[in-house]
Structure 1
């Protein structure tokens, strides 16, 4: 994992509130309409499973093809990058989404709370999933 210092000009860490806002925008713009359609097309339990799968694929794949951004991140002008400022690749995103999701699930959400605290108090604003994946969330130009 690269460990370039975060004080470099090209990496300005994005904090908790802007990251939360980007996630909320993704939920409203992307997932609310999808969940409404799935609810009317399928049984509730099956719709929840499809929704989880689509959500995982969205957060895993879209940043690979869209310079580290989701729709919410693009609106908020932030993006996911490797710690050296380069674009993320599939390995980073698998670690960020899948492995960290397993860790959050195994710990019954406690690790997710730890991640929120990390983003709030760490100077580099990196959450647990960022540390696992060798990524950070930064403002775009």
Structure 2
């Protein structure tokens, strides 16, 4: 598998663009994920001035409600939005980047869920607000405090994922490898050439199908 990854085609997408897009999505995702908690707390406490990002500030079922709402908003931003925008979060859209599958065709819903939810939120997500909310929600529902251990493991995996982006020619992170995806620059000549190649291939296949059933 490692040899296969090392020999994949070169991806010329710039590191700076990816870092900026990542930063935008991290910031916006964090703000949006925090909004349900803030709004719910303010509706219950009109005189609130400072609101910690902790589910423990709520009592009873409000803890669960705040956690579920926060995760729901995060799911919309990180999964539903890329489904609607065909592989683009707001950060990627602003920087002209896009998530595609290994053969440069449109990413599907299953791949986005594996990439964004399972890998980024649950496995790597030590720096994401929504991941922190998930850890807190697990604690509320089960009584087990998994945050400390999970964050440490997640941080190590996140660093490993970043190293892979640097050393692999395809610039794939761990979540890209697992979900069979790739981040590309939609303005690059390489991406445009790949689209033309796919279009030609599809036309040939359509002609063969027409001849077969003619």
Give the TM-score of the pair, scaled to structure 1: 0.77
RMSD of aligned Cα (Å): 2.7
Does the residue aligned with 2:184 lie in a helix, a strand or coil?
Answer: strand
Q: Among residues 74, 92, 96, which one is paired with 2:93 in the alignment?
A: 74
How far has the Cα of 1:120 moved from its partner?
1.7
Give the TM-score of the pair, scaled to structure 2: 0.53
Structure-to-structure mapping, 1:53-72, within 5 angstroms: 53-72=72-91
User: Is this contact kept in 2: 1:13–1:136, CA < 8 A?
Assistant: no
Deviations 1:8-48 (A, max 9, x none): xxxx443443222112223445653x357435412342556
Structure with bigger gyration radius: 2
Runs of 4+ in 1 over 6 A off after TM superposition: none
User: Is this contact kept in 2: 1:96–1:132, CA < 8 A?
Assistant: yes
Deviations 1:45-71 (A, max 9, x none): 255653343223321121122121011
User: Is this contact kept in 2: 1:15–1:125, CA < 8 A?
Assistant: no
Shift in alpha-carbon separation, 1:99–1:122, aligned structure 2, 3 A: same
- Alignment partner, residue 23 of structure 2: 24
Q: Which runs of 5+ in 2 are unaligned?
A: 42-52, 56-62, 126-149, 188-214
How far has the Cα of 1:86 moved from its partner?
0.4
- Alignment partner, residue 177 of structure 2: 131
User: Is this contact kept in 2: 1:15–1:119, CA < 8 A?
Assistant: no
1:90 aligns with 2:88: no
Q: Which runs of 5+ in 1 are unaligned?
A: none
- Alignment partner, residue 50 of structure 1: 69
1:121 aligns with 2:167: yes
How far has the Cα of 1:103 moved from its partner?
2.6
Shift in alpha-carbon separation, 1:77–1:53, aligned structure 2, 3 A: same
Q: Distance in 1 between matches of 2:27 and 2:155?
A: 22
Q: Distance in 2 between matches of 1:134 and 1:38?
A: 33
Query: Using CA pairs below 8 Å that are at least 6 residues apart, which structure has the higher relative contact order?
Result: 1
How far has the Cα of 1:111 moved from its partner?
1.0
